[in-house]
Structure 1
């Protein structure tokens, strides 16, 4: 039951898009730590250096969970062969 639910098309799409959003957020917060003046101006002061650092440090666990789910959903599928 859980195996089928995790490998359904909707679950795959949710995991894939969430992982993409998390990677983009990782990138933006990383820039917010190193290039904080540009990122603060780009986000109209919403993402400060301190907030970027806190968010960036707290994203490792959700990233790890989504990465494991992403890999798990692909296990067991045969590779495509082209003729």
Structure 2
């Protein structure tokens, strides 16, 4: 299972994700990101914001779940500057 650190950086950089254009404030921050770095619409968030669902819908035929989770964790590390 994908482990989220809840740093909020993915939700602070949505201007780089065309599928999330309608959620963009104009500064790269999602309109649904709360002050405590949680999603205000978590239970109904877009599929692209759901790591598990995106694997099932788009990546399952291309790679293992482990590979996909590693790819997502690498994206987190890049955003966190690690």
TM-score of the aligned structures, taking structure 1 as reference length = 0.29
